[in-house]
Amino acid sequence: MKFEVRKYPEMSWSLSRHKTMLTCKRKYAYDYYVSHNGWLNDADTLARQAYRLKKITNLEMHFGSVVHDLIYQIIQRVLNNQEIPREEAVVDEIRHHLNRSFIESTKKEHLWQHRPKHFTMLHEIYYSQTNQLPDHKIKKITERLHTTVSNFFASRSFADVLNKQQMRFLESEKFRYMTVDGVKIFIVMDLLYKDLTENKWVIVDWKTGKSSEEDRGQLAMYALYLQQKHHIESLDDIVIRNEYLLDGTHAEHQLTEQDLINVQRLYGISLEQMQTLLIDVENNIPQPIEHFSMQEDPRICARCNYQELCFPSLSNV
């Protein structure tokens, strides 16, 4: 397969991109422009550095992504009539991934430097003076490990997966998107199927963190996507379910037409704002970096991946 190398990235939109723009415009520039092509060996130093930093994760996020990956694999096994791993084996596997990420962060930085997509670097290690993870974080993740896995196996959605004869699962594309006025809108859905008995579409979101005030915008985007791709007329035929794996509960949401109107309005305003940060809208060419204002709250910067670029003299690395 031949990959096209584009000098500037293609314009796209997602809620997380929107949130990044609101959090810090400088971070937004690093995430969506400066790091572009940073994966290429012959990219300039800044692009490579920004791309590397963009790939830094933290313990909670890494835990969430390992759990999501394993859940995905387990569901695929069920759908392919393969043996399902025991709970204990899944817990061990997650622990193994977490340990590996710690070793990669502390002992294999050189490998991560060259291939940041294939190795893990934890923020807690990269921006600290020590090669230790904070005790309270280790405690928190250890506590979450067993609970999360056993709540997954006991979840309503996994029961639906096991009851697969009554469901129609949609092929799991990692990068689902819809196109609005030529702009790709990325939609990240963990699991999507149709309950044939109830005649409803079900979208599942696995949550590995604490439940929070739900972002209806995200849910409305899912519904818009389903409507566009699968021509679903009524919102009543769509069930959106959040599975809270920490406390073993789930919540189902029913959207209204107003939710869809709101999210489309948000998209329009947000895209317009993003376009003010460009010198060439058609080719998605950004303004110079100085035009992307920096965050003033040091607490936000302390959690950010780009401290090394924004505050080189304060950085420990």
The binding site for ligand SF4 (CB under 6 A) comprises 24, 26-27, 294-295, 300-301, 304, 306-307, 310
- Closest separation in Å from C-beta 154 to ligand SF4: 39
Q: 248: alpha, beta or left, given left = phi > 0 and alpha = psi -120 to 50?
A: left
- Residue owning tokens 């090669």: 131
Q: Using CA atoms, how far apart are residues 286 and 276, in angstroms rounded to an integer?
A: 9
Name residue 13's beta-bridge partners: 185
**Residue 58 is encoded by which pair of tokens?**
């933290």
- Closest separation in Å from C-beta 21 to ligand SF4: 11
Closer Cβ to ligand SF4, 26 or 48, answer by number: 26
Closer Cβ to ligand SF4, 45 or 80, answer by number: 45
Give the three-state DSSP class for 87: helix
- Closest separation in Å from C-beta 214 to ligand SF4: 25
Closer Cβ to ligand SF4, 103 or 302, answer by number: 302
SS3 content of the chain, % helix, strand, coil (to 5): 50, 15, 35
- Closest separation in Å from C-beta 207 to ligand SF4: 25
- Closest separation in Å from C-beta 301 to ligand SF4: 3
Q: Using CA atoms, how far apart are residues 118 and 179, in angstroms rounded to an integer?
A: 30
- Closest separation in Å from C-beta 32 to ligand SF4: 12
Closer Cβ to ligand SF4, 261 or 302, answer by number: 302
Q: Using CA atoms, how far apart are residues 90 and 71, in angstroms rounded to an integer?
A: 9
22-54 b/e with 16+ CB inside 10 Å = b? Answer: eebbbbbbbbbbbbbbbeeeebeeebbbbbbbb
Closer Cβ to ligand SF4, 29 or 192, answer by number: 29
Closer Cβ to ligand SF4, 102 or 292, answer by number: 292
- Closest separation in Å from C-beta 11 to ligand SF4: 21
The helix-helix angle for 87-107 and 59-79 (nearest 10°) equals: 140
Closer Cβ to ligand SF4, 31 or 160, answer by number: 31
User: Of 243, 240, 245, which Cα lies nearest the Cα of 208?
Assistant: 245
Closer Cβ to ligand SF4, 40 or 294, answer by number: 294
Q: What is the CA radius of gyration of the chain?
A: 21
C-alpha angle with apex 212: 243 to 76, nearest 5 degrees?
Answer: 25
> Environment class of residue 204 by beta-carbon count within 10 Å: exposed (0-12), middle (13-18) or buried (19+)?
buried
- Closest separation in Å from C-beta 99 to ligand SF4: 29
